[in-house]
Amino acid sequence: MTVYDITRDLSGDAVLYPGDVRPRFREIDNGQYRVTEMVLGSHTGTHIDAPSHYIKGGLTVDEIPLAVLMGPARVLDCSDARAVIEPGHLAGRLDGTRTILIKTWFSGRREFDPGYPSLSPEAAEMIVGAGITCLGIDAPSIESFDCDGSVHRRLLGSGTVILELLDLSAVPEGNYFMTALPMRLKGADGSPVRAILSDTEEEP
């Protein structure tokens, strides 16, 4: 069995969406043991967007059913989409799964690029119509840099949770088993996750 770690390193030089909190780490050593003080945002690094990120009264990260974040997943290679992922990139590729992870040219990039690939409103509508309950992407956001929030609201408002800033650079297109669990942050709108794929569609 092959296991892919699709989580980006969480460090001070992590890819950061403008306006997000720059992660900071400070080691505290008392001579017997050490601990690390951490400062980071709920959407730092590879992370989940809970519905409450955009939807008033929506589920917070601790309320999302964990079964949504564990199970069969399909990686779609959409690297040919330079800026916008349209319905044509997804057509005929969504059947038979509840989790879709979109691989783009941004995978493995170490610096923010405002031209990162993102989902068009029409593609978001297709995702919702297909009954997808978890949508992931390797870009900093599912929505364009100059967005109005409509794609987030459509997906999160329909119950589709979002994973962003995955690292799919080493993962071929195909079907996998995914685990992507957030911290149990009470009332939070998001959380860093540790996301992995195994090359089996059943729980390893």
Tell me whether residue 53 is one of the annotated catalytic residues.
Answer: yes
- Residue 139 · residue 116 · CB < 8 Å: yes
Given 43, 47, 53, 152, the catalytic residue: 53
CA distance 45 to 58: 22
Taking alpha carbons only, the member of 19, 58, 83 closest to residue 158 is 58
Residue 95 CA, distance from chain mean position: 20
Q: What share of the chain is helix, strand, coil (3-state, %, to 5)?
A: 15, 30, 55
DSSP letters spanning 66-79: GGGGEEEEEEEE-T
CB–CB of 165/45 below 8 Å?
yes
Residues with catalytic function: 53
